[in-house]
A and B are shown apart, each in its own frame.
Chain A
């Protein structure tokens, strides 16, 4: 479904990603794990079109997407929920969600998708008339995720969705992510919470200093010594 090959991305003169390749198939949850500053967000931004790679290719559903503007990539069926949430602060919860369905294709099914999102996140339904900037941190996180789902994506990229959520909610979010996978949406998941992430992911890639240093089935990675020491605190 998504195929990234040998990507190099720069910020001005500084190289952030070296020869990064990954792929995601339909119905998978793939995790991208790594320290802060390793380049995870950079990679996501490159895939979703916010950054342009200097070399390498990216293909989504067999179409070349590197170099395309972000909105075209969203139209193809990819959704990116950024780590800093990037909500519209003076718009209500409902309006933020509606903005997620901006594309014509998604707009037509807006009410149906809205109902589904409210079902997944009942506290958003309770607050649907509230301004986004008055929500608590965790509620904002849920709203960002809900908005990402409004475009009815085939692939959803989530950048640290559990950030700032209570332990109970983290469990719920991870359940929701699995539920999405079961409904046929592929997920690319970036997380600090490595243990829980590897438990629900099918496969994972480990990014360090802009390079992929490990990859494979997550069960195997959980046994890997380096991973255990560096990321699981064991």
Chain B
């Protein structure tokens, strides 16, 4: 089933075409990698899907319902959640509070505060942050802050999760842990799109990969196909 679809999506900033006529289809349950050189428009595309930016033309639909033009909180409540490249946690609010906000506001129907608290605690367990739940978010290590962002996103009960450079800045051990977490999330039936530069991670977990360059989709296929594509090697992978 198609969970997310984009048709001829266009976004410019002044004269610069950040995303140009991009079509894409994401099927439920997939883990799709989104790669491309810096400035190719990957985060911009995420911003268009999540509602942080509005499209200039084209349509983005989630579960056959048009979401392009809706506000971020509305799109979130419909079941699309995301993390940010520059980890945007709420620094002075304790870890539990960060996740609670997701449980309390991220769903279309209300929830009692006791139930929300229970859920938030369960999520902290799921990502491995129970030990630090009263710590202000700014005092966490980078790896933990990224886990917190994921937990907060999961608290909004998404069907689709957008991960923007989850692995950037993590060492090999932390990277392996992050990949395990992504696999666990996929195990819950959540569809995932991930922007990444660490090819090893992309290869190990993605079913499909899309490649953007200068705002256009230049390639799409299985990890094997992408890593052997001449075009992709030329503009992105090197060697």
Contact = CB atoms under 8 A, between A and B. Distances in A.
A167 B199 contact: yes
Interface string A167-187: 111111000000000000000
A231 B172 CA distance: 6
Contacts of B90: none
Contacts of A36: 141-143, 169-171, 174
B191 interface: no
Interface stretch (B3-11, B34-42, B154-162): B34-42
Nearest to B176: A233
Interface stretch (A68-76, A134-142, A149-157): A134-142
A94 B177 CA distance: 40
A223 interface: no
B237 A164 contact: no
Contacts, number: 78
Contacts of B105: none
A192 B165 contact: no
Interface centre among B13, B42, B168, B170, by most chain A C-beta atoms within 10 angstroms, is: B168
B197 A166 contact: yes
Interface residues of B, number: 30
A35 B169 contact: no
A169 B38 contact: yes
Given A166-B236, A168-B238, A160 B176 contact: no
A216 interface: no
A123 B237 contact: no
B197 A164 contact: yes
The 7 closest A-B pairs by CB, nearest first: A138-B38, A168-B238, A233-B172, A136-B39, A171-B238, A164-B168, A166-B37
24 contacts: A136-B38, A136-B43, A137-B38, A137-B85, A137-B165, A137-B168, A139-B38, A139-B39, A142-B38, A164-B38, A164-B165, A164-B168, A164-B197, A166-B37, A167-B197, A167-B199, A167-B236, A168-B37, A168-B237, A169-B38, A170-B197, A170-B238, A171-B238, A231-B171
